[in-house]
Every structure is written in structure tokens, then in C-alpha cells.
Amino acid sequence: MDSAQFSHYQDLAIQYASDFGIKILAAILFWVIGRWLINLAVRLVRNGLERQKVDLTVQRYIGSIITVTLNVLLVVGILGYFGIQTTTFAALIAAAGVAIGLAWSGLLSNFAAGAFMVVLRPIKVGDFVSIGGLTGTVVEVGLFSTTIDTPDNVQTIIGNNKVFSETIQNFSVNPYRRVDLKAQLSGAADHRAAMQLLRDKVGAIANVRADPPVDVEILEFNLLGPVVVVRPYCHNDHYWQVYFDTNRTIKEALEEAGFPAPMAAQKLTVTQVS
């Protein structure tokens, strides 16, 4: 190869490298600007939904759909800029989508369940719920999964299909809920006086509702004496405070009033045979 040919190839290499480098820089610029415009569009949509007082769960769900869709369009546009046939690319995506859909059908079922959850709204962001065998506060209802924070402050993600296909308990819908506790009385105690004392003392606990009133009734009997149920009512936000305060009040009220502690007793009869 003489010097003229080498110089020619060198010029071609430099030209192709320059063109490719310019395209790379342009693609990066398109990506940065595109991402900025996508985030702007999502913010504008969410602000519009907030002005219309649309539920926060619906806002986040719609925002997720818009974000995913616009990102896919941005990637297809950048590939088209590089000269890749987007129709062929779309066909490949469709074929891959079918294959992935068959292999990962659970994702599709999670997506469908998420759509139904947004429409039917059995739960929403901020609700305290029991879903998929877990209990916690709903943080987000996404495209494929629902995120909750459990009472021990652990963020947990549950597939939407599992949420929608199993029992959903929403503790935040009704204005109050019941706290269920038991108290063991001695068989020698005046059960009527003890039950009235517990009604008065538990009813005076902070955040316990006056209507409905505290339930204190005999549940069962055992060798120690009667077992009574103590059931105050409160708002879900105060459940654990009322739960612990009621337990403490049961013990302190019965002790201070002088009721005997429940103790196992046996009656032994000795018969002497002469």
C-alpha cells in the first residue's frame, strides 16, 4: 500500500469517526433533552390531576404509564436517528414481547390487576391495609406491584395480582375499629363490680370512643375463674396506643381496686379408712 492509498483510508476513517462521534454526541443530547421533556410532561400531567383533585393513587399510576411510554418512544427515535429501521425494531420488540409474555405471564397479570385496582380502588395511597398476607401503609400502587411500609418500617413490594386475587382488608375506610383484649378474673372476685370498673377505666383512656361504648362481657370460664373480653373502639391511627393503654389499665385498675389475683386452687378431701 503506497502513501496515497494510506492517506485516503486515513481520511475515510477520520471522516467516519467524526460522523459517528457527532451522532453519538447528538444521541446523548437527544437523550438528555428527551428525558428532561418527559419529566416536564409528567409533572405537568400530575399538576393538572392535582388541580382536578384526582386521587394520589391514580396520579402515580398515570404518571408511570406516561413515563414508560415516552421513554420507549424516545429510544425508538434515537435508534431511528442512527439509521436503524424502526419498523424492524418494532417487529423485534413485538416478537420479543410475545416470547417474554409467554414466559413471564405473571407480569401481564400484575399489570391487568393494577389497572383494575386503579379503576375499582379497593385501596389507595395512605391507607393502612392487610394485603397479600402483609399489613402496612400503602406507599404506591404501581404498574406491576404495590408498595407498602410495614409497622416495623420495612418497605415491602407485592405483585398486584397477588394483592387483587387475595383478601384485602382496608382498616382506613371505616371511621373506627375494635380492639379485642381479654382479662382473667379470679373465681372469688365480684365479676359484676370488676366488669363495671373496667368499663369506666377503659372508657376514660385517651382516644377511646364513647360511641360505641366499651364492651366488657364474660367470654368463657376456666379453672381460674371467668374470662372477660374488653373491647374499646378507636380510630385506626390510635389502635396500638389504645391497645397498650388498655392492657395496662386492666392490670392497674383491678390491682388498685383490691380484686384478688386469679390463682389455681384445688380442693383436697382426705378420707381415712379405719
Instruction: State pLDDT tens for residues 222-256.
Output: 989 999 999 999 999 999 999 999 999 999 999 99
Beta bridge partners of 140: 147
Selected from 3.40.50.300, 3.30.70.100, 3.40.50.720, 3.40.190.290, the CATH number assigned to the domain covering 177-256 reads: 3.30.70.100
Residues whose CB is less than 8 angstroms from the CB of residue 227 and which lie 6 or more positions away in sequence, other chains included: 182, 183, 184, 185, 218, 219, 220, 221
User: The whole model's pTM is what?
Assistant: 0.62
Confidence grade of residue 9 (pLDDT, cut at 50, 70, 90) = low
- Report how far apart the first and last C-alpha atoms of the chain are (Å, whole number): 134
Q: Among 212, 215, 247, 245, which Cα is nearest to 230's?
A: 215
Residue 200 host element (H or E): helix 191-203
Q: What is the percentage of the chain residues whose pLDDT exceeds 90?
A: 43
Return d(Cα 161, Cα 145) in angstroms, integer. Answer: 8
**CB-based burial, 94-127: b 16+ in 10 Å, e otherwise:** eeeeeeeeeeeeebebbbebbeebbeeebbbbeb
Considering the domain 122-170 in this protein, what is its CATH number?
2.30.30.60
The larger pLDDT score, comparing residue 266 to residue 145, is at 145
- pLDDT digits over 192-210, tens only? 999 999 999 999 999 999 9
Considering the domain 3-103 in this protein, what is its CATH number?
1.10.287.1260
* Mean pLDDT of the chain, nearest integer: 82
Per domain, the residue ranges of the chain are 3-103, 122-170, 177-256
pLDDT at res. 67: 81
Q: Which residue's C-alpha cell is 385496582?
A: 117
Helices and strands, counts by H and E, the chain: 7, 10
Q: Are 74 and 38 in contact (CB under 8 A)?
A: yes
pLDDT at 23 over 80: no
